[in-house]
Amino acid sequence: MVTFSAVLAGVIANPPPTAFADDPSNEDQVFFAELEHEGLHPDYAKQICGSAKCESLRDLLVQEGHAVCSALSGAPRLVPISVIAHLQVTPAEAHGVITAARHAYCPQSPDPYTKTA
């Protein structure tokens, strides 16, 4: 299985996609733009295959972005570890994905990297 880090590291910087067959939401477009802003340049068309099915990296990232927001409401401190494990990314890449997800899908959610007293 190709890791997410390898996909991110091995691609030429492409702009985020502007049109898809399933017409992504404005939130998804913000998410893609935020990923770029965070320095992540995934190959959105790349197929990632698991034991049951294959999905585009774009769809996988959108799912993970929404999962990040759900998890931030319950256990924000565990979110970075979860993203690292699920996407097989570095801590810096996980931070970028989490930041992009928060900005696009749940700006009111807590930042798992901010310490609270």
Q: Note the pLDDT of residue 23.
A: 59
115 pLDDT above the threshold of 80: no
pLDDT in tens, 72-97: 999 999 999 999 998 989 999 999 99
114 pLDDT above the threshold of 60: yes
- List the Cα angle 87/20/79 in 5-degree steps: 25
Structure tokens at 59: 């769809």
In whole angstroms, what is the distance from residue 16 CA to residue 31 CA? 9
112 and 72 in contact (C-beta within 8 Å)? yes
Question: Interhelix angle for 79-87 vs 91-105, to 10°?
Answer: 110
Return the DSSP state at 38.
Answer: T
Residues 6+ apart with CB under 8 A from 27: 104, 105
Structure tokens at 15: 């702009």
pLDDT in tens, 27-73: 999 999 999 999 999 999 999 888 899 999 999 999 999 999 999 99
Q: Note the pLDDT of residue 13.
A: 36
5 pLDDT above the threshold of 70: no
